[in-house]
């Protein structure tokens, strides 16, 4: 009993001691009563549970994954945890688009608590690498918006997109198979990218509904939480509950956004064409969007709304302390003086926005706030170096 109490946090110990210690030792019946009270307390105050610290976050493409990853990087740093990071030869991703292998992990970032850089999901290899009680989390975005983002972002990288006259999304969708070839350069960005990232077969025909259904079941079996990009804050509420984290653990600044100029508007007809071309992703999204709302309802929609409002108030306080009381102004890379804070720009037709900190905030605020706006690539490198240094110190 004492052991169990000790592994829970101070507040709970204090509460238990105050209310029950006096009667704890009087007889065995009361001991059982104490245990029941302990269980009820844990159920009614999930935040009193210890924080869950072993997490696989499968970062899918163009779904707000960088914002989640940044949150996880900061969580690891604050709590002295280890984030498994790619080895040098894999760049800042785990040798994507190959299936993930434990060989792709930098040895100085093992054993790990978390892993979150882009990879193609491979359950067996991750199971070998991560602690037994690891929670698996991922994020999906509505397939038409995801594809529009992919199409612009990778217009110079994916062979299928490069072939389209004038880089026209309409032309591509009028006859995708004219431009897309299975096995063509970077074809994973051009069809069912979410399915591919999750380890599935992106080229199954849309008529193979049985495959799509089986794949959904597979994802549901492995992942404890599938976040939904359109409901990002609600997703964070579910994440916080799943992992018993504090409000401050889920604060974020929105990263990797495009300028309005870089976006194409989608007519309803075009949306439908994208969904048909990415039919397995559509199946996945529709299923997990529906089950997401079931999860929220179980928690209570009013309760979730209250939690979202608390999160947004905390976000506002963060913005006040980091950006002098205003919302951070997203800047084009060329407008950001500190080169480290410039997000990667895939081609000249797309502007990926970043941020800079005001020069007149305290050095403490600078140190704390910088991490929120550090783009994925420099943050991955920084974290790798700091974990290596830590390893050699110990």
Ligand X SMILES: Nc1ncnc2c1ncn2[C@@H]1O[C@H](COP(=O)(O)OS(=O)(=O)O)[C@@H](OP(=O)(O)O)[C@H]1O
Q: Give the residues lining the site for ligand X (CB under 6 A).
A: 61-67, 149, 229, 232, 254-258
Closer to ligand X by CB, 12 or 304: give it.
Answer: 304
Closer to ligand X by CB, 69 or 279: give it.
Answer: 69
Closer to ligand X by CB, 127 or 263: give it.
Answer: 263
Distance in Å, CB of 127 to ligand X, minimum = 24
Short-list 373, 393, 371, 365, CA closest to 383: 371
Distance in Å, CB of 11 to ligand X, minimum = 31
Closer to ligand X by CB, 138 or 256: give it.
Answer: 256
Distance in Å, CB of 377 to ligand X, minimum = 10
Closer to ligand X by CB, 12 or 342: give it.
Answer: 342
Distance in Å, CB of 15 to ligand X, minimum = 35
Closer to ligand X by CB, 61 or 240: give it.
Answer: 61
Q: Do residues 198 and 214 lie in contact, with contact meaning Cβ atoms separated by under 8 Å?
A: no
Distance in Å, CB of 257 to ligand X, minimum = 4
Closer to ligand X by CB, 157 or 382: give it.
Answer: 157
Whole-number Å distance between alpha carbons of 43 and 40: 5
Q: Which residues contact 179 (CB under 8 A, 6 or more apart)?
A: 160, 161, 163, 164, 172
Q: Which residues contact 239 (CB under 8 A, 6 or more apart)?
A: 137, 225, 227, 245, 250
Distance in Å, CB of 180 to ligand X, minimum = 20
Distance in Å, CB of 265 to ligand X, minimum = 12
Distance in Å, CB of 373 to ligand X, minimum = 12
Closer to ligand X by CB, 34 or 65: give it.
Answer: 65
Whole-number Å distance between alpha carbons of 54 and 136: 9
Which residue's Cβ has the minimum distance to ligand X?
66
């Amino acid at each position: 009993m004492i052991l169990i109490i000790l592994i829970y946090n101070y507040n709970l110990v204090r509460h238990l001691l105050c209310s029950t210690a006096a009667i704890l030792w009087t007889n065995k019946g009361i001991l059982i009563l104490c245990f029941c009270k302990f269980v009820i307390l844990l159920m009614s105050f999930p935040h009193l549970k210890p924080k869950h610290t072993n997490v696989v976050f499968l970062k899918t493409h163009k779904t707000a994954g960088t914002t989640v990853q940044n949150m996880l990087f900061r969580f690891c740093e604050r709590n002295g945890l280890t984030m498994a990071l790619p080895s040098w030869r894999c760049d800042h991703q785990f040798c994507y688009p190959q299936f993930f292998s434990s060989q792709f992990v930098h040895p100085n970032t093992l054993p790990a608590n978390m892993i979150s850089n882009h990879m193609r999901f491979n359950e067996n290899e991750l199971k070998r690498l991560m602690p037994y009680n690891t929670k698996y989390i991922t994020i999906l975005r509505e397939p038409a918006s995801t594809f529009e983002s992919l199409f612009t972002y990778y217009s110079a990288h994916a062979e299928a997109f490069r072939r389209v006259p004038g880089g026209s999304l309409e032309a591509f969708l009028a006859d995708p198979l004219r431009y897309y070839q299975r096995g063509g350069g970077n074809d994973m960005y051009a069809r069912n990218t979410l399915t591919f990232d999750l380890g599935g077969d992106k080229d199954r025909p849309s008529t193979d509904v049985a495959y799509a259904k089986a794949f959904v079941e597979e994802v549901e079996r492995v992942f404890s939480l599938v976040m939904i990009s359109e409901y990002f804050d609600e997703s964070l509420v579910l994440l916080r509950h799943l992992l018993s984290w504090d409000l401050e653990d889920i604060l974020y600044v929105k990263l990797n956004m495009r300028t309005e100029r870089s976006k194409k508007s989608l007519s309803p007809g075009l949306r439908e064409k994208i969904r048909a071309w990415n039919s397995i992703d559509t199946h996945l999204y529709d299923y997990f969007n529906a089950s997401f709302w079931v999860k929220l309802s179980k928690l209570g929609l009013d309760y979730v709304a209250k939690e979202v409002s608390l999160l947004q108030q905390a976000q506002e306080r963060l913005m006040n302390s980091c950006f002098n009381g205003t919302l951070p102004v997203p800047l084009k890379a060329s407008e950001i003086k500190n080169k480290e804070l410039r997000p990667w720009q895939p081609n000249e037709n797309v502007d990926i926005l970043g941020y800079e900190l005001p020069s007149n905030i305290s050095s403490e605020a600078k140190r704390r706030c910088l991490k929120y706006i550090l783009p994925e690539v420099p943050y991955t490198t920084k974290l790798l170096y700091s974990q290596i240094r830590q390893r050699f110190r110990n």
